[in-house]
Amino acid sequence: MANHKSAKKRIKTSEKKRIRNKGGESKIKTLVKKVMATTEKTDAEKTYREAVAFLDKNVSKGILHKNTASRKKSALTKHINSLTSAPVAE
């Protein structure tokens, strides 16, 4: 256990950061899974916008590295582009 006041404070702050980071990472995983599981293009695009916004926000907070976020966005974009839009009724 820490003996110095500054070390005790460090333990508290690092625990707060750990909880914040864990929550952010968990939500990222959930959003990515939602986009990948969606087969309808319009629903996937809606969830994709939400996921990209959240990825960018986490990069700015330092929870995620920018290259990691870029890699995830690229994979999501590939998935979206592979989906076919609903056929138009004639």
pLDDT (tens, 9 = 90+) of the chain, 90 residues, equals 788 999 999 999 999 999 988 998 999 999 999 999 988 888 999 999 999 999 999 999 888 999 999 999 999 999 999 987 655 555
Domain boundaries in the chain?
25-82
* pTM assigned to the model: 0.77
Spell out the SS3 assignment of the chain: CCCCHHHHHHHHHHHHHHHHHHHHHHHHHHHHHHHHHCCCHHHHHHHHHHHHHHHHHHHHHCCCCHHHHHHHHHHHHHHHHHCCCCCCCC
